[in-house]
Amino acid sequence: MRLPFPLVEDLDAEALEKGRKLFAGNNSDFLKGVVAMAGLPPSDRVEVCFAGRSNVGKSSLINAITGRTRLARASNTPGRTQEINFFTLAQSHYLVDLPGYGYANAPKTVVEKWQLLLKHYLSGRANLRRAFVLVDARHGIKDVDEEIMSLLDSSAVTFQAILTKADKIKLKEREKVLDQVRSKLSKHPAAFPEIVLTSSEKGNGIPTLRAVIAGLD
């Protein structure tokens, strides 16, 4: 019997090649950091965004899929960066890096301002094709992850779970985490019914994620 929320596996050669071509040639660049809706670039191309709690490996994953080791920069202080960072991909896509959440040290007013901007962004981008919610493969989905997932539900934005740091967990433990992730995702109507398993350090799942993004029109 097919498991709910299976891992994305066995993509055909055509899909993988489409993903390779889209990301080939280091053709990604930083465009701008946005702190208010007025600063958003035009909605003139396919857009995907990446969300994840602090230290989940979001910057590393963006760097891995783009082949640019320093394109996205991780802050040394979790939650310090409060901008929506836009990156161009070829002439056809935006990759969007949302600030890490789940931080404790940011002032309440900063958190509230960021949450409002996030809500407006998610509900106001007609070209946003998918949100990727990053989950640490060692820990599974936490309460703060469910908060962002619920926001995506209410914004009617399809999101897909990406498990990061898969190389840092043993297979037996990974299956337990996958069971937990599947159980949590089943409660969210906006959850896309497949999971991508990745390791930025080892390169696992990177061609798959590229193919998934390239397949969004």
DSSP per residue over 6-58, as a string?
-B-----HHHHHHHHHHHTTS-EEEEEEESSGGGPPPS-SEEEEEEEBTTSSH
Ramachandran sector of residue 165 (left: φ over 0; alpha: ψ -120 to 50; beta: rest): left
Q: What does the domain layout of the chain look like in residue ranges? A: 13-214
Residue 104 banded pLDDT, cuts 50, 70, 90:
low
Residue with tokens 């498990």: 163
End-to-end CA distance of the chain: 30
> Which value, to the nearest 10 degrees, does the dihedral of the CA atoms of residues 139, 214, 33, 201 take?
40
Give the tens place of pLDDT for each residue, 123-141: 889 999 999 999 999 999 9
pLDDT confidence of residue 103: 59
Q: Residue 1 pLDDT more than 80?
A: no
In the predicted model, what is the mean pLDDT of residues 74-90? 73
Percent of the chain with pLDDT over 90: 73
How many other CB atoms sit within 10 Å of the CB of residue 56? 26
Q: Would you say domain 13-214 falls under CATH 3.40.50.300?
A: yes
Residue 97 banded pLDDT, cuts 50, 70, 90:
very high
Q: Residue 78 pLDDT more than 70?
A: no
How many other CB atoms sit within 10 Å of the CB of residue 188? 17
pLDDT confidence of residue 54: 84
Percent of the chain with pLDDT over 70: 93
Given a contact cutoff of 8 angstroms between Cβ atoms, the answer to whether 56 and 145 are in contact is no
CA distances from 4 to 33, 52, 159, 186 (A): 37, 22, 15, 8
pLDDT confidence of residue 163: 98
Q: For the ranges 116-125, 186-195, 206-215, which has the lowest average pLDDT?
A: 116-125
Give the tens place of pLDDT for each residue, 24-47: 988 899 999 998 899 999 999 999
Residues β-bridged to residue 159: 131, 191
Closest alpha carbon to 201 in 95, 7, 59: 59
Characterize the bridge pairing of strands 93-97 and 46-52: parallel
How many other CB atoms sit within 10 Å of the CB of residue 154? 13
pLDDT confidence of residue 72: 80
Residue with tokens 């009617």: 156
